[in-house]
Chains A and B, each alone.
Chain A
Amino acid sequence: MKTLRNIAMAVAMAFVFTSCEAQIKNPKTETVKVYGNCEMCKKTIEKAANEKGIVKADWNVDTDMLTLTYDQTKTNTDAILKKVAYAGYDSETFRAPDEAYKNLPECCQYDRPAKVSAIAENHDSHKGHDMPAAETTQNSPLFNPVYTAYFSIKDALIKSDGKTASAKASELVKAIAAAPMDKMKTEQHTLWMKIQSSLKTDAGHIAETTDVKHQRDHFASLSENLYALAKTTTNDAPYYYQKCPMYDNGKGAHWLSKENTIKNPYYGSAMLSCGSTVETLK
């Protein structure tokens, strides 16, 4: 019995040794700089770099140096540093995607090596290449505050952000109340009198809840009324009247936008590009 136990021990020991021995074949050791802050960074960096039997990594919090031992037939320093960068950590070779860096816990958001922009110097040549900016347009100054608030609600609904939509709707309520009726043309004035109360109701409902579904219901009728209003005004830059055919079990719903590109406020990100421009108001 005792011998049996001894043999078992021996086998177990041999196993432990060989597994240590077999840890990394064709080893190569290299030390490289990886930017980071704290013990938590150490964990993340090493986790990203380590690969059983292939890579063993050790990051030093004080010196920011990462010591890598790896099987040089299976990987290389660049490949390892790429994985570390995807985890959010810059090195001399790779700069992590901004998104990965932003996703790090706050304490880990180390000071990144500074970028030197090349664009600032020849800013002029960069112009004219971006999409035509719609921000600068003057859409009938009379109703400007109304539309500004409306577009903010729309943008919030695109993001399914009920809180912002509610806050912007409160602004819209004020803007509606403040609309200078004395400056309106007769035709506009008539229309305004007709739609004013439902505008107020819809805006009010959006303001008093953060339930996006409820907000969208009112946004649909709000959009119809503002569309009617937009038709009576002349604009320097176009407003696009856009339609989502699916909303409300296929009954469809509209909205106004300053961009021709579809960003559907009725469903959030899943159906973002669903819809089409049905009319361009100029």
Chain B
Amino acid sequence: MKHCYQLLLLFAALSGYAQNSKEYDLYVTDTVVNYTGKKVKAIAINGSIPAPTLHFTEGDTAVIRVHNKMHHETSIHWHGLLLPNEQDGVPYLTTAPIKGMSTHTYKFPIKQSGTYWYHSHTMLQEQIGMYGAFIIHKKQEPELPEYTMLLSDWTDANPHEIERSLHKANDWYAIKKGATQNYAEAIGKGHFLTKFTNEWKRMHAMDVSDVYYERFFVNGKQEDHAPQFKPGEKVRVRIINGSASTYFWLNYAGGKITVVASDGMDVQPVAVDRFIVGVSETYDVIVTIPDKDTAFELVATAEDRTGQASLWLGNGVKQLQQPLPKLKYFEGMKMMNDMMTVGGNMKDMGMNMSLQQMDMNTVMYPEITGKEKDKKTAGMAMEGHQHQETGNTDIVTLNYAMLKSPVKTNLPDGPVRTLHFELTGNMNRYVWTLNNKTISESDKVLIKKGENIRIVVTNNSMMRHPMHLHGHFFRILNGQGDYAPLKNVLDIMPMETDTIEFHASEEYGDWYFHCHILYHMMAGMGRIFTYENSPPNPQIPDPEMALKMVYNDDRRYYFSAEVGLESNGSDGEMRLENTRNFFDVEWRLGFNKNTGYETEAHFGRYLDKNQYLSVYTGFDFRYHNSLEREENLFGQASTQNQRAVACIGLIYQLPWLINADVRLDHEGKARLQFVRKDIPVTDRVRLWGSWNTDFEYSVGSRYILTKYWSLSAHYDSDMGMGGGIVLTY
């Protein structure tokens, strides 16, 4: 105890902070919520979602006891805070996981001020309620009315099920959002070629977000009210994006929004009409209540525009903000087509894109580029076509180049090391990587105290990523020279290259750098920075085992199945796959002797960066009673009637999403097969077909009823015509 006291004294003397211990008790419990008329499991802290707002003053010592009243483990990470590594709250990496029915005490000095937040860093718990605001006031803060606006997304679906379907590229969420971008719609809008080219370049329907959310919230409500503010008053709103995977546009019905801080750090005030808040970013803004007897809407709209949540500032008749119109997906698709090579790389046409300045998505925003045209007249401006625009060019949108620190932020002198991170991914298999490696596939990045680390980040994937660094602030080199803004989250759009740099100012420990879209992080999109010669962490008694637990997150296998029950037999496939490997079993069972049965089992591995190419080995058993064909395309005797062979093969995804599968069995017979699945004809109708060099073929269609069930009909050269139902899991 005495020792502890001395330490505190020492600290006080060093930093000149007055010691003021501020204590909180957080009780984490399983709970059931009902936001949409359906009862769903969630996690609450002190009985509420979001978790309670914690208030501190710079110089305090935070003592936070987390009581885990659940039977499974949890953790809490203090997002954006500068603290000793073992207090950072990443389970197994920096801090012991909080086991079920136990208490963990966090204690750390508060060395900064601003708007931060806290959330679980365990699996997908953040999605179901474990997030709260963490506000640190300056010691002498000017009195300004303020309000905290914590944004989040809610889905009734179990997040683990969401994660699984994302890996399966199930397009149910797109159906729910009306974003399947099917051929019928494409033809209707004069975009048949756009859609075809898009698939030619091996892209499925494009979207700006992956998950369908039933609700979006401000402080846990669709509409939050803050009537206490007076007309004419300036209000500081602390905006925190605590969602799992949703970017939000912020618009204010009462005029300009003045941005004064980001990620907790002050910036020189800049007035804008709107801005986007990346997942896990925070922004402090000042807005004015311009009229009497009126409440003004500060509205957060999901980037995919499937929903919004509002905060009403002031009291009286409610002044609505014009909602953001639907996205023009085909315009975006057209843009994508121009930007994407058939080889699957993004090219920026020499535009050196960076810092959110050139938002390619703008072509999809009707409020800026005008309403959707139904004919082909909507030629892209980039091609040099001229067309009459009805859009609005007066809207000022914030971008990173406009952020300027009020003080110089130059790093202390020290050796500079430059790292290059290319953000990579495969949308269809939901693989997200840095330099084509997941967290578990890469070594930790060793850094030395006193070093300056410069990171050049290039986004070669098709989605934007909010990259978050634990325990440090980085400068974004944005043309503001000495006054580059400090942040701990960098939103980087497709094709952009940004440079950030930070000073390795900590003493020791492992610090995460990862994409803050929850499902991307869990897929392995990140790196671990580790200080050389770190002492053993008392929180992690078995470091080897613990690291394995960290790595397990992105090594997991996902199960999927498609089982058809039709009048002519049963077709099906079951798959188990992770980042690189897959096991699958396929079968076709006829209902009579003539149609026979076939079954194939494979184990395979994806080889290239884009995961177009994979190799496999496996078995093939089949029996048919009556088949006449005797030779295949290669003049080899067909063994379709009876076969029991081992085989090796290679699958390559061709343009237009056709899988070419070439294999050789141990008897020396070869087969080449082409398969195209899930051609989106309308919102819910999918066509598919296959053909191989044994002259087997089949074509079929599917009408999607629910996430799991479809009606189906198909014709198979062996089994004939059939119809029935398909279970897609």
Point out residues on A near B: beta carbons under 8 Å: 82, 85-86, 90, 92-100, 113, 115-119, 121-122, 125-126, 129-131, 158-160, 211-213, 245-246, 249-250, 261-263, 267-277
Expressed in whole angstroms, the minimum distance between the Cβ of A128 and any Cβ of chain B is: 9
**CA of A166 to CA of B141, assembled, Å:** 53
B319, A276: Cβ atoms closer than 8 Å: no
Residue in A93, A131, A213, A268 whose beta carbon sits within 8 Å of that of B389 in the complex: A268
B232 touches A118 (CB 8 A): yes
User: Does B357 lie within 8 Å of A85, measured CB to CB?
Assistant: no
Q: Mark B286-317, 1 if CB is under 8 A from A, else 0.
A: 10111111100000000000000000000001
Chain B residue at minimal CB-CB distance from A123: B232
Q: Are B362 and A250 in contact (CB under 8 A)?
A: no
In the complex, how many angstroms separate the beta carbon of A145 from the nearest chain B beta carbon?
A: 25
State whether A269 and B368 are in contact (beta carbons under 8 Å apart), knowing that A212-B386, A245-B351 are contacts in the complex. Answer: yes
A160 touches B389 (CB 8 A): yes
**Is A272 within 8 A of B362, CB to CB?**
yes
Q: What is the distance, in angstroms, from B324's C-beta to the closest C-beta of chain A?
A: 11
Contact in complex: A97, B369 (CB < 8 Å):
no
CB neighbours of A85 from chain B (8 A): 320
Task: Give the residues from 353 to 405 in chain B that come closer than 8 angstroms, CB to CB, to chain A.
Answer: 357-359, 362-363, 368-370, 380-382, 384, 386, 388-389, 391-393, 396-397, 399, 401-402
Q: How far is the CB of A217 from chain B (nearest CB, A)?
A: 10
**Residues of chain A within 8 A of B288, CB atoms compared:** 119, 126
Residues of B within 8 A of A (CB): 230-232, 234, 253, 256, 258, 269-271, 286, 288-294, 317-323, 349-352, 357-359, 362-363, 368-370, 380-382, 384, 386, 388-389, 391-393, 396-397, 399, 401-402, 479
Q: Is A246 within 8 A of B349, CB to CB?
A: yes
What's the Cα separation between A65 and B393 when bound, in Å? 38
Chain A residues within an 8 Å CB radius of B234: 125, 129
Give the chain B neighbours of A245 by CB distance below 8 A: 350-352
Write out the residue numbers on chain A whose beta carbons fall within 8 Å of the beta carbon of B232: 118-119, 121-122, 125
Contact A92 B317 (CB under 8 A): yes
Which chain B residues lie closer than 8 Å to A95 at the CB level?
Answer: 294, 317-320
CB-CB nearest 4 A-B residue pairs? A118-B231, A118-B232, A97-B322, A269-B391
Chain B residue at minimal CB-CB distance from A266? B381
Hey, which chain A residues are within 8 Å of B351, CB to CB?
A: 245-246, 274
Q: A269 touches which one: B271, B290, B362 (CB < 8 A)? A: B362
A94, B320: Cβ atoms under 8 Å? yes
Instruction: List chain A residues, Cβ under 8 A from B322.
Output: 86, 97-100
Which residue in A90, A159, A270 is a CB contact (below 8 Å) of B363? A270
Q: How many A-B residue pairs have CB under 8 A?
A: 133
A277 and B357 within 8 A (CB) = no
Determine whether the beta carbon of A129 is less than 8 Å from that of B286: yes
Contact A160 to B386, CB < 8 A, known contacts A95-B318, A245-B351, A274-B351: yes
Q: Are B402 and A93 in contact (CB under 8 A)?
A: no
Contact B368 A272 (CB under 8 A): yes
Chain A, residue nearest B370 (CB): A269
Closest to B381 in A: A270
**Given known contacts A262-B357, A269-B370, A276-B357, A119 and B290 CB-to-CB distance under 8 angstroms:** yes
Can you give 23 A-B contacts (C-beta < 8 A)?
A85-B320, A90-B317, A95-B318, A97-B253, A115-B294, A117-B290, A118-B231, A118-B232, A118-B292, A121-B232, A122-B232, A213-B386, A245-B352, A246-B351, A249-B384, A250-B350, A267-B381, A271-B358, A271-B362, A272-B362, A273-B362, A273-B399, A276-B401
How far is it, in angstroms, between the C-alpha of A82 and the C-alpha of B295 when the chains are bound? Answer: 14
Residues of B within 8 A of A159 (CB): 389, 393
* A213 partner residues in chain B, CB cutoff 8 A: 384, 386
Which one of A98, A99, A271 has the highest number of Cβ atoms from chain B below 10 Å of its Cβ? A271
Q: Chain A's nearest CB lies how many Å from the CB of B501?
A: 20
Is B362 a contact of A270 with CB atoms below 8 Å? Answer: yes
Query: CB-CB < 8 A to B382: which residues of A?
Result: 246, 267, 270-271
- With A95-B320, A96-B320, A263-B393 already in contact, the answer to whether A268 and B290 are too (CB < 8 A) is no
- The CA-CA distance from A250 to B282 in the complex, in Å, is 36
Roughly how many angstroms separate A245 CA and B349 CA in the complex, as a whole number? 9
- 10 new A-B contacts, CB < 8 A, other than A86-B320, A249-B384, A273-B397, are A86-B322, A93-B318, A95-B294, A119-B290, A125-B234, A126-B288, A129-B271, A131-B270, A245-B350, A262-B357
- With both beta carbons as reference points, the residue of chain B lying nearest to A82 in the complex is identified as B320
Q: How many Å from the CB of A64 to the closest CB on chain B?
A: 15
**Least CB distance, B637 to chain A, in whole angstroms:** 57
Q: How far is the CA of A92 from the CA of B294 in the complex (A)?
A: 11
In this complex, which of A92, A115, A277 has the most chain B Cβ atoms within 10 angstroms of its Cβ? Answer: A115
Q: In the complex, what distance in Å separates the CA atom of A273 from the CA atom of B358?
A: 5
Which among A116, A158, A262 is the interface contact of B292 at CB below 8 angstroms? Answer: A116
Q: Given the complex of chains A and B, what is the CA–CA distance between A211 and B384 in angstroms? A: 13
Residue in B289, B320, B321 whose Cβ sees the most chain A Cβ within 10 Å: B320
Nearest A-chain residue to B296, judged by Cβ: A95
CB neighbours of B358 from chain A (8 A): 271, 273-275
| Contact between chains at A118 and B290 (CB < 8 Å) | yes
Q: Which residues of A contact B258 (CB under 8 A)?
A: 129-130
Chain B residues near A158 (CB, 8 Å)?
393
Bound-state Cα–Cα, A167 to B456, Å: 46
